[in-house]
Amino acid sequence: MRTIDKVRFILNILFLIFTVITFILFVTADDANLYFRTGVTALSLKVFEFILRFVN
Protein backbone atom coordinates (compact mmCIF):
# COMPACT_ATOMS: atom_id res chain seq x y z
CA MET A 1 0.00 0.00 0.00
CA ARG A 2 1.37 3.39 -0.98
CA THR A 3 1.90 6.14 1.54
CA ILE A 4 -0.75 8.37 -0.04
CA ASP A 5 -3.30 5.57 0.26
CA LYS A 6 -2.47 5.15 3.94
CA VAL A 7 -2.97 8.86 4.53
CA ARG A 8 -6.30 8.78 2.68
CA PHE A 9 -7.39 5.77 4.72
CA ILE A 10 -6.55 7.55 8.00
CA LEU A 11 -8.35 10.70 6.84
CA ASN A 12 -11.44 8.66 5.98
CA ILE A 13 -11.44 6.99 9.40
CA LEU A 14 -11.08 10.38 11.10
CA PHE A 15 -13.91 11.74 8.95
CA LEU A 16 -16.20 8.92 10.03
CA ILE A 17 -15.32 9.44 13.69
CA PHE A 18 -15.96 13.18 13.50
CA THR A 19 -19.22 12.55 11.64
CA VAL A 20 -20.47 10.32 14.45
CA ILE A 21 -19.37 12.86 17.06
CA THR A 22 -21.15 15.62 15.11
CA PHE A 23 -24.36 13.60 15.00
CA ILE A 24 -24.18 12.90 18.73
CA LEU A 25 -23.62 16.60 19.43
CA PHE A 26 -26.53 17.51 17.15
CA VAL A 27 -28.84 15.34 19.20
CA THR A 28 -27.51 16.08 22.69
CA ALA A 29 -25.55 19.34 22.89
CA ASP A 30 -27.03 22.66 23.88
CA ASP A 31 -24.07 24.55 22.43
CA ALA A 32 -24.51 24.94 18.66
CA ASN A 33 -21.00 26.36 18.35
CA LEU A 34 -19.41 23.04 19.33
CA TYR A 35 -21.69 21.18 16.90
CA PHE A 36 -20.70 23.46 14.01
CA ARG A 37 -16.99 23.25 14.81
CA THR A 38 -16.96 19.46 14.76
CA GLY A 39 -19.03 19.45 11.58
CA VAL A 40 -16.65 21.84 9.84
CA THR A 41 -13.70 19.74 11.01
CA ALA A 42 -15.29 16.61 9.53
CA LEU A 43 -15.99 18.34 6.24
CA SER A 44 -12.47 19.75 6.10
CA LEU A 45 -10.99 16.29 6.52
CA LYS A 46 -13.16 14.95 3.71
CA VAL A 47 -12.29 17.82 1.37
CA PHE A 48 -8.58 17.30 2.05
CA GLU A 49 -8.94 13.57 1.33
CA PHE A 50 -10.85 14.39 -1.86
CA ILE A 51 -8.04 16.69 -3.01
CA LEU A 52 -5.44 13.99 -2.28
CA ARG A 53 -7.42 11.50 -4.34
CA PHE A 54 -7.28 13.67 -7.46
CA VAL A 55 -3.75 14.99 -7.03
CA ASN A 56 -2.38 11.49 -7.31
* Cα 42-44-45 angle, rounded to 5 deg: 65
pLDDT digits (tens, 9 = 90+) for 2-16: 898 999 999 999 999
Q: Please give the model's pTM, rounded to 2 decimal places.
A: 0.86
Tell me the mean pLDDT in the region 31-56: 92
- What is the model's pLDDT at position 14? 96
Domain coordinates of the chain in residue numbers? 3-55
Average pLDDT, the chain: 92
In terms of Cα–Cα distance, which of 4, 5, 8 is closest to 46?
Answer: 8
